[in-house]
Structure 1
Amino acid sequence: MALDKDVLDQLLDTLGRFVREKLVPLEHKVAEDDAIPAEVIAAMREMGLFGLSIPEEYGGLGLSMADEVQVAFQLGQTSPAFRSLIGTNNGIGSQGIVIDGTEEQKQNYLPRLAAGEIVGAFALTEPESGSDAGSLRTTARRDGDHFILNGTKRYITNAPQAGLFTVFARTDLDSRDARGVSAFLVEAGTPGLSLGPIDKKMGQKGAHTCDVIFEDCRVPASAILGGREGQGFKTAMKVLDRGRLHIGAVCVGLAERLIRDSLSYAMERKQFGQPLAEFQLIQAMLADSRAEAYAARCMVLETARRRDAGQNVNTDAACCKLFATEMVGRVADRAVQIHGGAGYIADYGIERFYRDVRLFRIYEGTTQIQQLVIARNMIREAA
């Protein structure tokens, strides 16, 4: 449901000030410590950021997609680690329950996710299964009115902090494709569930991933998301449009931050007796970045509005994810170039953003997967 304009404007203004005054000054510390301070997490809970997309009847803000992407524009103005902490609760960690969960599952988990009492994680990727999600090997063998889970999930965002895992496992052990996959809601601390060491990543320090390991992990049949076997992959696909638009919006925010920092530096830094901003080749890089960021912003806003209107935006959401994630990579590269040597030095933060944004082209569907989705949908529509 869309918020009243005045209420939305107030939320965006409050969030913008929070980002500028509280989060931006902590960027270096979060990267150095690889952790978000507890007082920041508490403030994010108080602001309702863990429940942006969760319906109001379950304690969330129930933002429309168009409202959510505007919030993501603001969150994108700082280190991606802050957004990542709340990202799974608003996206892949909750939306499967919102869309396909039983009423009992919704009542049990959504209020706690919305309040930030627990963090959700989406356990799909495996050591031998990433983009080809239908080939996953984690099994769920029925044992009376329970299932026994065995397998390993890899690169699971927020797993070290998670209180609830949406786990995808093969319930039809004879199947070789996605039709035999079911989704399970498994709480942290369940016997047989353990975590690997926190991954040492190229960027996005403060946002944690690790392996999630299942060794004869016993869960009740009522843990199946939606109460139906064989629907897991369909559920995963249903949440992707929203996730792709959200990531696209975050990339727009990050690009706008990098452009602002680059322009400021170019106007202050002098070479050959004049500011860098007076050189036409610097101007070209600034102009290209501004044009591409504006194009991505327009794409995301229009597709979000169409999704709220009930239109099928599967192709366009993939276009947004593809363009925006590639765009922010180009903007970050130009930002390093504009800053010159300073862009390569940690003190300025530009090299950190350069590393941080690289991940967006990989997770929640690689650039190549988006290309396949777009092209296959085009062919299907034409036929």
Structure 2
Amino acid sequence: MSYSPAAWMPDRALAPATDILVTMTALSDEEKAIVEVVAEFVDREVRPAARELEHANAYPGKLIERMKELGVFGLTVPEPYGEVSVSKRCYALVTEELARGWMSLAGAMGGHSVVAYLIATFGTEAQKERYLPRMATGELRAAMALTEPAGGSDLQAITTTARREGDHYVVDGAKMWITNARRAGLIALLCKTDPQASPRHRGISVLLVEPGPGLTVSRDLSKLGYKGVETCEIVFDGHEAPGSAALGEEEGRGFAQMMRGLEVGRIQVAARALGVGRAALEDSLRYAQEREAFGRPIWQHQSIGNYLADMATRLRAARLLTLDAADLLDAGERCDMEAGMAKLYASEAAMDIALNAVRIHGASGYSTEFDVERYFRDAPLMIVGEGTNEIQRNVIVRQLIGRHPLR
């Protein structure tokens, strides 16, 4: 039997994964239809195009336009500003489907969705009316700007400032690793409006910044994976933002606001990891049933069978953690610990699953003619992005102690 990358296209897809169907039972009929439409889009349009686009590091303009048409950019925009706002469970499953096709597409809507959630949750009515309807359609794309050249994990140590001068702010500083920076019409900027505040977080605000003089996208950053969508450094040099730009028109609340937004962001990153892990598992299941060694399909060899069993078990556990965090958020509960657990576990699981997929595919797993090598390059982003996994462990243990103090 000969093997070709064409063998792993959608016309040879596996039967639907049982655990995916189970998790969809908690969705409304409308939400089920949304997930199914996105899954069909992934199979028909994304998977056949992803490899060529990714290897060329080409911006997926046509796919992004289709995502706009499907309403993907409005999933966290509530009525009356948007038309397809869904539960966070549905949002996570849509993200998983997109990442199953190509993780970069899920990344293109990730930061945008968090910014929409921030505005919907904390914004003034004027801010909601100005931004959310256009964000829902994807006409206006948004980005988050948190990380700086000198560091990212300690957000309270940021040095970008916005000083008030009359009726506007003057912004100075630099931010790194900004997805969609060249195409964003809105940036949620974490900055210091009171550098002398004590404790430090009381001097931090989120400014809703639009492109203009003094805001420069200085360079694109080269990456191991996560190709196609740009990730950039941006520089603020005397950029002027209106006095109404502070999220909620309240200074000093930005750190707490962003921490709430990152609950959504970490669920989204966990769901991206699910998509990468699921793609790696599904490709491995196909390959292990068709590839033969010593006269039988390789899944029947215990070492390969054990890999597949462990991969499927970890993926299911990661999905349950992710949906648990999503359900808590839908219920109006704080889920910083649960979102941190989901992000931590799902990202580590995706990395292990991607590596085992390479092992199962052997030399083919190392070939750029198969998608497995892409999964292996994309998976590390979820380990270091949206707060490194080392930071997630810090978040988790602090919450554990806070919830279970000595009496």
Tell me the TM-score normalized by structure 1: 0.96
Q: Residue 52 of structure 2 aligns with which residue?
A: 29
One-letter amino acid of the counterpart of residue 195, structure 2 = L
One-letter amino acid of the counterpart of residue 107, structure 2 = S
Tell me which of 224, 235, 244 is aligned to 1:213.
235
Tell me which of 77, 85, 94 is aligned to 1:54.
77
1:310 matches 2:329: no
The 3-state SS of whatever aligns with 2:58 is coil
One-letter amino acid of the counterpart of residue 127, structure 1 = P
Q: Confirm or deny: 8 A CA contact 1:53 1:60 kept in the other structure.
A: no
Residues 12-21 or 176-185, more deviating: 176-185
Q: Confirm or deny: 8 A CA contact 2:146 2:155 kept in the other structure.
A: yes
Q: Residue 86 of structure 1 aligns with which residue?
A: 109
Q: Confirm or deny: 8 A CA contact 2:31 2:86 kept in the other structure.
A: no
Tell me which of 95, 100, 103 is aligned to 1:72.
95
1:309 deviates by: 2.1
Matches of 1:67 and 1:26 in 2, distance apart? Answer: 25
Deviations 1:146-183 (A, max 9, x none): 11111000111111211111112111132362221111
Tell me which of 286, 308, 313 is aligned to 1:264.
286
Residues 373-382 or 245-254, more deviating: 245-254
Aligned 1:112-131 pairs, distance under 5 A:
112-131=134-153
1:312 deviates by: 2.7
The 3-state SS of whatever aligns with 2:151 is coil
Cα distance change of structure 1 residues 116 and 173 upon mapping to structure 2, 3 Å threshold: same
One-letter amino acid of the counterpart of residue 158, structure 1 = N
Q: Residue 358 of structure 1 aligns with which residue?
A: 380
Cα distance change of structure 1 residues 266 and 369 upon mapping to structure 2, 3 Å threshold: same
1:106 matches 2:128: yes
Cα distance change of structure 1 residues 265 and 373 upon mapping to structure 2, 3 Å threshold: same
The 3-state SS of whatever aligns with 1:27 is helix
Deviations 1:107-154 (A, max 9, x none): 001111111112101111101130000000011122111111110001
1:4 deviates by: 7.0
1:23 deviates by: 0.3
Matches of 2:108 and 2:337 in 1, distance apart? Answer: 27
1:366 deviates by: 0.8
Q: Residue 244 of structure 1 aligns with which residue?
A: 266
Q: Confirm or deny: 8 A CA contact 1:51 1:89 kept in the other structure.
A: no
Percent identity between matched residues is 38
Q: Confirm or deny: 8 A CA contact 2:324 2:338 kept in the other structure.
A: no
Q: Confirm or deny: 8 A CA contact 1:124 1:167 kept in the other structure.
A: yes
Q: Residue 8 of structure 2 aligns with which residue?
A: none
1:253 matches 2:271: no
Q: Confirm or deny: 8 A CA contact 1:120 1:165 kept in the other structure.
A: yes
1:338 matches 2:334: no
Matches of 1:130 and 1:379 in 2, distance apart? Answer: 25
Tell me which of 172, 193, 202 is aligned to 2:224.
202
One-letter amino acid of the counterpart of residue 30, structure 2 = V
Residues 73-82 or 372-381, more deviating: 73-82
The 3-state SS of whatever aligns with 1:339 is helix
Cα distance change of structure 1 residues 61 and 3 upon mapping to structure 2, 3 Å threshold: farther
Q: Residue 145 of structure 1 aligns with which residue?
A: 167
RMSD of Structure 2 on Structure 1 (CA): 1.6
Matches of 2:399 and 2:26 in 1, distance apart? Answer: 32
1:3 deviates by: 10
1:18 deviates by: 0.5
Matches of 1:180 and 1:116 in 2, distance apart? Answer: 32
Q: Confirm or deny: 8 A CA contact 2:27 2:90 kept in the other structure.
A: no
- Give unmatched runs, 5+ long, in structure 2: 1-24
Q: Confirm or deny: 8 A CA contact 2:141 2:184 kept in the other structure.
A: yes
Q: Residue 299 of structure 1 aligns with which residue?
A: 321
Cα distance change of structure 1 residues 193 and 3 upon mapping to structure 2, 3 Å threshold: farther
1:302 deviates by: 2.4
Matches of 1:284 and 1:4 in 2, distance apart? Answer: 33
The 3-state SS of whatever aligns with 1:160 is coil
Q: Confirm or deny: 8 A CA contact 1:160 1:198 kept in the other structure.
A: no
Q: Confirm or deny: 8 A CA contact 1:149 1:216 kept in the other structure.
A: yes
Deviation >3 Å, runs of 4+: none
Cα distance change of structure 1 residues 11 and 327 upon mapping to structure 2, 3 Å threshold: same
Matches of 2:26 and 2:197 in 1, distance apart? Answer: 44
Matches of 1:209 and 1:76 in 2, distance apart? Answer: 17
1:207 deviates by: 2.1
Q: Residue 38 of structure 1 aligns with which residue?
A: 61
Q: Confirm or deny: 8 A CA contact 1:52 1:61 kept in the other structure.
A: yes
Q: Residue 15 of structure 1 aligns with which residue?
A: 38
The 3-state SS of whatever aligns with 2:195 is coil
Q: Residue 181 of structure 1 aligns with which residue?
A: 204
Q: Confirm or deny: 8 A CA contact 1:89 1:114 kept in the other structure.
A: no
The 3-state SS of whatever aligns with 1:105 is helix
Q: Residue 377 of structure 1 aligns with which residue?
A: 399
Q: Residue 16 of structure 2 aligns with which residue?
A: none
Matches of 1:242 and 1:149 in 2, distance apart? Answer: 27
Tell me the TM-score normalized by structure 2: 0.90
Matches of 2:192 and 2:342 in 1, distance apart? Answer: 31
Deviations 1:314-346 (A, max 9, x none): 211111111001100000010011111111111
Matches of 1:311 and 1:229 in 2, distance apart? Answer: 24
Q: Confirm or deny: 8 A CA contact 1:166 1:184 kept in the other structure.
A: yes
Matches of 1:5 and 1:179 in 2, distance apart? Answer: 40
